[in-house]
Amino acid sequence: MSGSSATSVSATISGLSSNTTYYYRIAASNSAGTSYGSEASFTTLGWTTEVVESGGTIGEYTAIAVDSSDNMHISYYDASGKNLKYATNTYGKWEAVIVDGKGDVGKYTSIAIDSSDNVHISYYDETNKALKYATNASGRWTTTTVDSSAAVGMYSSIAIDSSDNVHISYYKESSTDLKYATNAYRGGWRTETVDNLGQVGMYTSIAVDSSDIVHISYYDSARKDLKYATGIYGEWNAKTVDSKGSVGMYASIAIDSSDNPHISYYDASKNDLKHATLNNLGSWRTEIADSSGRVGEYTSIKIDSSDNVHISYYDNTNKDLKYATNASGEWENNTVDSEGSVGKYTSITLDSSDSVHISYYDESKKDLKYATHANVP
């Protein structure tokens, strides 16, 4: 540029703190010297946190999902009443109801929303050692026992396919197997074993791709490996994703726009948060997403419309809720909530604008909490 013509400049800045004002000014240099523009500033957007429900011991085993109108839906366990509960902000404020109060029910909840914005929840029946399922698709809550074949249903995870069929992965404790259930076929629920090689199936997470192929991540507790299975009912292919040390607990899975799976998980050997993805060539790539202290338990993962990864997780060193994303091209980590001991049982979702929403447990106050970020950098 020459003379006094105006021009625009831009820069990408990473590593900024949330809810912070930064000051800057532009400098222009040439052979005649350097001149400076006026001082300007910008403020990064911060996290907003709030209590969804309090009173008693509320909010363990939380899971969150978003509907087509960007309303939030949360399932969780009420330890005081031993109930499965559900909360939504659909009508402008949080409203909570008991979904199932028959026995000790509601641990290991998972939630999904179908194309008609009906809610579907999988969960564990501690009293009967069974996998249960609840939905409000009929206009009221109904519950069903899906599998009662001896100590089944822990670590349940639920997903909905393009035809609004339900898919659930879960753990059978009595035989230490990974199991799968679906209502996609006539005749009601079908269940089967996906993997029974050793002690497998804890920390299971499920997702469905654009072709309605099922993807499941889970933990091999005998070998201390992260495993992954994909397929449909009756046809499964299971592989080891990561076997370097003790890895794979707290796994969570999501699918990108190319139908490639992404898994967040905990490396117990190094106390790190890790991320694994399967590329188009069929090989897994693993990387550390956060290694600052003992971090990475209770992970939850989602992929945005640009295929950026978003992970919520627990910082055990500081007892905080944390969040990681690679949206800038490299991993960036932020503390979302540090008020007391918070962040266990975290679950993440993204709305239609790719804004982040997280449900989690406040262990200090024994409350269910919710955090959101209006515009994640």
Domains and CATH numbers, the chain: 47-373 (2.120.10.10)
Backbone angles phi, psi at 52, to 5 degrees: -85, -45
Show Cβ contacts of residue 178 under 8 Å, excluding neighbours closer than 6 positions.
169, 170, 171, 172, 193, 194, 195, 196, 200, 201, 204, 216, 218, 229
pLDDT recorded at residue 1: 47
- What pLDDT does 17 receive? 60
The pLDDT, as a whole number, for residue 295 is 98
H/E run at residue 239: strand 235-242
Q: How is the beta sheet containing 214-220 ordered, strand by strand?
A: 200-208, 214-220, 225-232, 235-242
The answer for residues whose C-beta is within 8 angstroms of residue 208's C-beta and 6 or more apart is 159, 160, 161, 162, 167, 214, 215, 255
Return the closest-CA partner of residue 217 out of 171, 183, 176: 171
Residues 6+ apart with CB under 8 A from 363: 319, 340, 341, 342, 344
Say what the pLDDT of residue 32 is.
76
pTM score of the predicted model: 0.90
Per-residue pLDDT of the chain (377 residues; tens, 9 = 90+): 455 666 666 565 555 566 667 777 888 777 778 877 788 765 555 899 999 999 999 999 999 999 999 999 999 999 999 999 999 999 999 999 999 999 999 999 999 999 999 999 999 999 999 999 999 999 999 999 999 999 999 999 999 999 999 999 999 999 999 999 999 998 799 999 999 999 999 999 999 999 999 999 999 999 999 999 999 999 999 999 999 999 999 999 999 999 999 999 999 999 999 999 998 888 999 999 999 999 999 999 999 999 999 999 999 999 999 999 999 999 999 999 999 999 999 999 999 999 999 999 999 999 999 999 865 34
Yes or no: say if 315 and 337 are a contact pair by the CB < 8 Å rule: no
